Structure 1
Amino acid sequence: MNRCVEIQNSPCRHVANKDELIELIELVVDDVYGELDVPSVAGRDQWRATVVRTAADLRAMVLRHPWIAPELSQVGLVHIGPNALRTASGLLARFEAAGFPQDETERALGTLMAYVVGIATSEAAYLSLIARSGRTEQEWVAEVRPAFDEAARTHPPLREASSARQDAHPRQIRDADFAYGLERVLDGLAARLGA
């Protein structure tokens, strides 16, 4: 069966079967990876800043293209296109420059990618839900807050933690939560450097 697949503003491309469709999706995912600018290898003391920048850029890429999130989670974290490989190689070089043992650089990369892709995939799904509702993120949060507060009545610490951040813009909360988690992942990785 020959089906036409349209991807964003591209002309229709016919695919004969599921394997061809998967191959096409992998090509498109790799094309999106081409948006990432992997910084050149920095010195040992600058590895963390360059990894943070690349992680933030990867998250932003997923949020710009929310359709890619399910593809990243379904296909997995392994992409073999040239752009994805360039990104992975660049990050590996950062971990090597930092002084990670050779047998840990791939694990460090895998840990970082699992965190970033996992958070960004979840965030993209959340933002897609809100977009389908026709509301802004602030409107959506304001609408669900009373139900959350009521449900959390019997869990005071949860309610207090949520109430402490209720005046912050939801995007600021998402950005802060991403940065917090990324820093904790990097703290854990950095501890391996001193081990």
Structure 2
Amino acid sequence: MGPEQELPTVVARMWGREPVSRRGPRPGLTLERITDAAIEIADAEGLAGVRMSSVAARLGVSTMSLYGYVASKDDLLTAMVDAAAPEPPEPGILPWREYLAAWTRANRDFLAGHPWLLEVSPLTPPTGPHTLRWLDRVLTVLTGAGLAAAEAINIASTLSAYAASSATLQSAMSGTVDDAGPEGLAGYTALLTQLIDADGYPGLAAALESGAFGAAPDWIEDADFTFGLTLLLDGIEALIVRRKKAES
């Protein structure tokens, strides 16, 4: 094996592995305090409000003092993504299917609770202890169910993407589709009704006619999510069965 690659500074700090330096960071300032302040700003104002200067102002320090912990805005976002992630559900004795359902639902919920994560998470591979714990737990369960590690990674990516898309839809429909769009699901349905005709969009027209877009409030929050998740879990179960048959 060759020499170990030097960890990026922000990654080393997230893991508590930064090297000791004579030029240490400002006493009393920590990466946790910085990320907490940045997350508070992002939750209130969105990512546009997160700047090195705005975080420093919230903490009552100079902007330059932050650079002992995060060398750039990208580093700050990397640390924020990890800090915003709660602890994942622990597998315990749950069957694999129940655990994956709980894992995906919890993933969706914390993303929906911090909508700015939907902008930055897909561009930030997990490198911190919190986000990697999420990946570790789901891989442990999937490989324990008889799947190869490569298959487990693909499934984890698929479930994560599903959680993110569901959180995005939930966030959009609970507010506005975009700045110029209609408010909520009812407004979106009304807009589609004006735009869609049966000749050009027969599938959409039939769905609107049936009232599918204007279903009960849990259409967004639970019923649709559960429906899609069940399809994914059924596919995973079919793959597990095939693997077991191939091994027998």
> Aligning the two structures, in what range does the TM-score lie when normalised by the shorter sequence?
0.7 to 0.9
Match of 2:176, as an amino acid? L
Change (3 A) 1:143 1:115: closer
Superposed displacement of residue 103, structure 1:
3.7
Superposed displacement of residue 143, structure 1:
3.2
Change (3 A) 1:94 1:42: farther
2:81 to 29, 44, 57: 29
Aligned counterpart, 1:173: 220
Aligned counterpart, 2:207: 161
Which digits, 9 at most, give the CA deviation of each residue in 1:106-158, with x for residues without a partner?
A: 2221222222223324543554535968x9x6xx3333433311322323432
- How many angstroms apart in 1 are the aligned matches of 2:185 and 2:160? 28
User: Which runs of structure 2 are paired with 1:60-79 in the superposition (5 Å)?
Assistant: 60-75=109-124, 78-79=125-126
1:97 to 144, 149, 156: 144
Gaps of 5+ in 2: 1-50, 243-248
Secondary structure of 1:153's partner? coil
- How many angstroms apart in 1 are the aligned matches of 2:53 and 2:172? 26
Structure label with greater radius of gyration = 2
- How many angstroms apart in 1 are the aligned matches of 2:186 and 2:175? 17
RMSD across aligned C-alpha pairs, in angstroms? 3.1
Aligned counterpart, 1:47: 96
Relative contact order (alpha carbons < 8 A, sep ≥ 6): 1 or 2 greater?
1
> Percentage identity across aligned positions?
24
Match of 1:100, as an amino acid? L
Superposed displacement of residue 55, structure 1:
0.5
Aligned counterpart, 1:145: 189
Superposed displacement of residue 99, structure 1:
1.6
Aligned counterpart, 2:234: 187
More helix by share: 1
Superposed displacement of residue 96, structure 1:
1.7
1:56 to 105, 108, 113: 105
Gaps of 5+ in 1: none
